[in-house]
A and B are shown apart, each in its own frame.
Chain A
Amino acid sequence: MTDEVREGMNRRSLLTQCAGWAGAGALYTLTGGIASSISLDAALAATPRHGHGGTRPFTFLQISDTHIGFDKPANPNARGTAIEAVEKIKALPNKPDLIIHTGDITHLSTDAQFDDAAQILSGLGSPVFYVPGEHDFLDEGQGKNFLTRYGKGTLGTGWHSFDHNGVHFVALNNVANLKPGGMAHLGDDQLAWLRSDLAGQSASTSIVVFGHIPLWTVYEQWGWGTDDSAQALALLRRFGSVTVLNGHIHQIIQKVEGNVSFHSARSTAYPQPAPGAAPSPGPLKVPTEQLPTMLGIRTARFMRGNEPIALIDQSFA
């Protein structure tokens, strides 16, 4: 066990040095810090091992950036690809215990788009936990439409936490009250809440943090980062396993810092350019046949205790 951890950490350090920007392929898993190709079926069929402290292996899903209402050339049918994502999730051999949606549910925060998204996502058949993206917070009420639907039982602009089978999930909002010239922002109130929320957790608890915009600086020039994330990370560092799941940038980018691993996810709607690969971010038009390879969903598999959560990204292709 000790050797396994140490080896994992060494490989993690190596990963940090040489693969800080690694965009992964269609399928990968991250176990013990080692990224490798794996087939989805094989991953999900792996024999479950019983964990410590009464936890049991389980899977959950991440879906992101559905952008219901988007109909521009980069994907004239974002509604159709969201439905396709739901179908793929329903077809998975193992039903996930829960699903997290990392924001940009809608494209323009309208009632009609929220209603349509709710109708489409209601087909998922598992409980879904939401955080807003900036596209869900652009109504005149600055998030009123989102919070009316998904804010029940949450604090501030929608932050909350919950526990599932020994894993502590923390949902953050970093798209509200953004400051001129800055990036995404958590704000003092949310950070104070995070401090008290984490204070009661044992360092051996596996932590999953999810929020829309990456909590590490992917590319400052495009605003792809959170300007006060260092304060959040300082609170997370004492935990043995922290998995940070984000959306916003519509592509898989990962980074490992000590026991904290960061992962951005694909969108179900349209791709965006790699950081700095285009004059600006925004919807990327690719040849039609290429689009399915750039959209996707993510399965996360928790095995036990402090072991890193394995992530399996599945494209539509």
Chain B
Amino acid sequence: MIGFPKPARRVALLLALAAPALGLGATHAVSAAPAARVQTVSIKMFAFTPQMLTVTPGTTVAWTNADEDPHTVTANDKGFHSAALDTDDKYSFTFTKPGDYAYFCSLHPHMTGRIIVKAG
């Protein structure tokens, strides 16, 4: 499964214990801070750009919604998911394990994307 980098995992765990109501999105956002590598995906004109992104393990992927319509970033297997992102809202997730992660916008499911994680 997808995990957090170690320090973030501890923070996330603490947060999760302290305030369960925060939910997944909030704890994932915390994981972005200590990550060394960040790659961005733009959500614009009802599309994820780049639609397919290849990163190395440990990379944080940061999505920004540039549309006037809200969108989500939702893994097909629900392994990660953002809250609804309004204009200029961001969501990030750190991919630690190699794999092929398919995701979509749960509001506009014709919008799909892939993150491929493999050692460089």
Contacts and interface: CB of A to CB of B under 8 A. Distances in A.
B68 A283 contact: yes
| Interface class of chain A by DSSP | loop
B45 A183 contact: no
A47 B85 CA distance: 51
A220 B110 CA distance: 8
B109 A181 contact: yes
Interface in B57-83: 67-70, 72, 76, 83
Contacts of A72: 68, 87
| Interface class of chain B by DSSP | loop
Given A181-B112, A279-B45, A138 B67 contact: no
Nearest to B109: A178
B58 to A, nearest CB: 26
Interface residues on A, range: 20 to 34
B87 to A, nearest CB: 7
B76 A134 contact: no
Interface stretch (B1-9, B10-18, B29-37, B99-107): B99-107
B45 A282 contact: yes
Contacts of B67: 280, 282
Contact of B102 (A74, A180, A220, A223): A180
B112 A281 contact: no
Contacts of B104: 180-181
Nearest to A278: B45
B23 interface: yes
Interface residues of B, number: 25
A139 B25 CA distance: 12
A18 to B, nearest CB: 28
A140 interface: yes
A222 B106 CA distance: 14
B70 A183 contact: no
A179 interface: yes
Contacts of B69: 281-283
A279 B104 CA distance: 19
Interface string A120-149: 000000000000001100111000000000
A135 B110 CA distance: 16
A80 interface: no
Interface of B: 23, 25, 45-47, 67-70, 72, 76, 83-84, 86-87, 102-104, 106-112
20 contacts: A72-B87, A73-B68, A135-B70, A138-B70, A138-B72, A139-B84, A140-B25, A178-B109, A179-B109, A180-B112, A181-B104, A182-B109, A182-B110, A220-B110, A223-B108, A223-B110, A282-B68, A282-B69, A283-B68, A283-B69
Interface of A: 72-74, 107-109, 134-135, 138-140, 178-183, 220-223, 279-283
